[in-house]
Amino acid sequence: MLTYAPLFPVILLTLVALVAMLMSALVRDASRTGVFSAVGLLFVMALSLQQWGTQQGPANILGNAVTVDGYSYFFYVLFCLIGIVTVFIAMPHLEREQAQRGEFYTLMLFSLVGMFVMVSSDDLMTLFLGFETMSLAIYVLVGWRRHQLRSNEGVLKYFFLGSLAAAIFLYGIALIYGSAGTVNLQSVAALLTAPGSALGVNGVFTVGVLLVLVGVGFKIAAVPFHMWTPDVYEGAPAPVTAFMATAVKAAGFALGIRLIAFLFEHQQLHDIAHIILFYGAILTMFVGNFFALAQKNFKRMLAYSGIAHTGYLLVGMLALPEAGAGTAVLYYLVAYALTNLGALAVAAFISGREEKFDNLEDFSGMAWRYPLAGICMAVCMFSLIGFPLTAGFFGKYMLFAAAFKANLAPLVVIAIVNSILSVYYYLRVVVVMFVEPVAENAAAPETMPLATKAVLAYTVAAVVWSGVGTFNVTPFFPGLVPLRAKAEASMKALTAIPQARVSTGTVEGKSSAPLQANAPLIH
C-alpha cells in the first residue's frame, strides 16, 4: 500500500468525484454538492501539500507509467485551488440561472482527475487517458446552458475541433510507438541519446512528435490552433470560462513542458522545436493582442487576451533550460490563474441573467455601484498588463529576463511591444467601470452574494500578495518569494527525473547512454 501512497491525492480526488456524482442523484439541494466538492478539494490540496513536504524523491509507479514528483504536486495544488475558487464562482451564478445541478460539480471534479493524471504521466497512453478525461468533462460544461444558441455553437465548435486535435494527438503517439518501440517518455529520451541511435533523425518519429505537439497547441490556444477560443469563451457560462482559462491552460502547459523535457533529446529535434516555438510565439502574441483590441464583448476580449498570454508563455518555454525560465513559466501560470478567476468572477456577477449584459458598455459605472467589483477588476487588469506590485508584473519580468539571458533579445522586444499594445484594451475596462456613467439597461442585482464577495476579496489579496509577499500567509496566499522557490524546486524535480531513472544505462533491456542531469530541454 505504501508503494502507491503518492497516488493518494489522485485516488482521493476520484473518490470525491464519485461521491459528488451520487449526491447529484440523491440530494435535491445541488448547492450541497458544491459545498462538498469545495471541501473535498480542500482535503486533496492538504494531502498534496503534506506529501510534497515529506517527499524524498520522484515516485515511479505502475510500471513507470506514472511519476509523482515535486512538479506533479505543484500542479495538484494549483488545480485544487482553481477548483475551489470556481465552485464559489459557480454556486451563486448557477442559482441565478436556475441551472444549479450537482452534475456541474461532478464534471468539474472529473476534469480535475484527468488533469492530475496528465501532469503525472510518463507514458503517452496514460497521458492520453488523462487528456481525454479532462476534455470530455469540459465539453459538457461548455454546453451547460443547452437552451442558448451561442452556448450550443460554442460547444459544437469545441467538441469537433477538440476531437480532431485528440485524433491528431493519438496518431502522433502511434507514430512514436511505431518508430521507437515504446510510448514511455523516459525510454524514448534514453533511446534518443543512445550512441549511434538514429531515432532523432527518423522522419516518422519526428512527425509523431510534431503531431503530439499539435494536440498540446490546441489546449493552450496557440496560433494557428486558437480558432475555437473566442466562441467557446463567450458561449460557456462564466464559471466554466474561468475554469477553462485557468486550469485547462495550466494543464496544457504542464503537459507541454513534460513532453519537451523528454522528446527533444536530439539536436535535430531541438532545432525544429526552436523554429516552431519562436515563430509560434510571435504569431500568437500579435494575433491575440490585435484581435483583442477590436472586441466589445468582455469574454471574447479575455479569450484573445489569453491567446496573447499563451505567446508570452511560449517565450518562456523557448528560453528553457536557462536558469529561471521554467520557474518563470510556473509562476506566471499561477499569477495568470488568480487574475483571470477574479476578472471572470466580476463578469459572472455583472452580466446578469443569462449573461445578456457582458459587453464592455454594460460594465459602465459599475465600480461605483459595487466598489469591491471595481477594485477587483482594476487589480486584475493591471496584473494582466504587468503593472508593478502585482503578480503579473513579476511573472512577465521573470519570463522576459530568462529569455534575454537565453539570447532571445529580439523576441523579448517583440513581447514588450505586445505588452504595450495590451494596455489599451485592459485599461479600457477600468475606464468604463470607473469613469463612464452607469448604463441605463444595467441588470446587475442590488446585492452581491457572499460567495462572490469572498472570491473577489481573495483574488485581490492573492494577486497583490503573490507579487510582493516574502512569506506564505497560508497555502491560499503564497508570497512571491516562497511561490518562486516552490516553482524552482518543481522544475528541478522534473529535469532530475531522466538522471534518476535512466542513468543506469538500460531501457527495457536495451543498452543506452545515460542522460545528463541538466540536459537542455531546448537549445
pLDDT of residue 496: 64
Q: What is the pLDDT of residues 389-448, one digit of tens each?
A: 899 999 999 999 998 988 888 999 999 999 999 999 999 999 988 888 776 655 556 688
Q: Which residue has the higher pLDDT, 402 or 517?
A: 402
pLDDT of residue 517: 32
200, 266 contact by CB (below 8 A): yes
Q: How many CB atoms lie within 10 A of CB 444?
A: 19
SS3 59: strand
Mean pLDDT computed over 271-296 = 89
Name the least confident of 8-17, 40-49, 311-320. Answer: 311-320
Q: Are strands 66-68 and 506-507 parallel, antiparallel or unpaired?
A: unpaired
Whether the predicted pLDDT of 480 surpasses 60: yes
Q: Which residue has the higher pLDDT, 3 or 7?
A: 7
Whether the predicted pLDDT of 221 surpasses 60: yes
SS3 67: strand
Mean pLDDT computed over 497-522 = 38
The amino acid that residue 9 corresponds to is P
Q: Which three cell numbers stand for residue 289?
A: 493582442
Q: Using CA atoms, how far apart are residues 297 and 89, in angstroms rounded to an integer?
A: 20
Q: What percent of the chain has pLDDT over 70?
A: 91
pLDDT of residue 507: 39
Mean pLDDT computed over 15-26 = 92
Name the percent of the chain in helix, strand, coil, to the closest 5: 75, 5, 20
pLDDT of residue 510: 37
Task: Provide the pLDDT confidence category of residue 152 given band limits of 50, 70 and 90.
Answer: confident
CA dihedral 291, 294, 300, 306 (to 10 degrees): 40
pLDDT of residue 268: 72
pLDDT of residue 114: 94
pLDDT of residue 513: 34
Instruction: Find the helix or strand (DSSP H, E) in which 14 lies.
Output: helix 8-26
Whether the predicted pLDDT of 516 surpasses 70: no
Question: Cα-atom radius of gyration of the chain, to the nearest Å?
Answer: 22
Q: Which residue in 8, 16, 115 sits closest to 51, CA to CA?
A: 8
pLDDT of residue 2: 58
Mean pLDDT computed over 67-96 = 91
Q: Using CA atoms, how far apart are residues 8 and 5, in angstroms rounded to an integer?
A: 5
Burial 342-366 (b: 16+ CB within 10 A, else e): bbbbbbbbbbbebbebbbbebbbbb
Whether the predicted pLDDT of 220 surpasses 80: yes
Mean pLDDT computed over 27-43 = 90
Number of helical H runs and strand E runs in the chain: 20, 4
Q: Using CA atoms, how far apart are residues 451 and 455, in angstroms rounded to an integer?
A: 6
Q: Is 172 exposed, middle or buried (0-12, 13-18, 19+ CB in 10 A)?
A: buried
Instruction: Find the helix or strand (DSSP H, E) in which 60 lies.
Output: strand 59-61
Mean pLDDT computed over 224-243 = 90
Mean pLDDT computed over 91-95 = 89
Whether the predicted pLDDT of 514 surpasses 60: no
Q: What percent of the chain has pLDDT over 90?
A: 42
Instruction: Give Cα 150 to chain centroid, integer Å.
Output: 24
pLDDT of residue 457: 94
pLDDT of residue 500: 43
Please give the model's pTM, rounded to 2 decimal places.
0.90
Q: Using CA atoms, how far apart are residues 15 and 459, in angstroms rounded to an integer?
A: 28
Q: Which residue in 501, 491, 49, 8 sits closest to 258, CA to CA?
A: 491
Task: Provide the pLDDT confidence category of residue 311 given band limits of 50, 70 and 90.
Answer: very high
pLDDT of residue 508: 39
The three-point CA angle 487-488-491 to 5° equals 85
Q: What is the pLDDT of residues 123-151, one digit of tens each?
A: 888 999 999 999 999 999 998 887 778 88
229, 303 contact by CB (below 8 A): yes
pLDDT of residue 369: 86
Whether the predicted pLDDT of 277 surpasses 50: yes
Q: Which three cell numbers stand for residue 92?
A: 451563486
SS3 68: strand
pLDDT of residue 267: 67
111, 137 contact by CB (below 8 A): yes
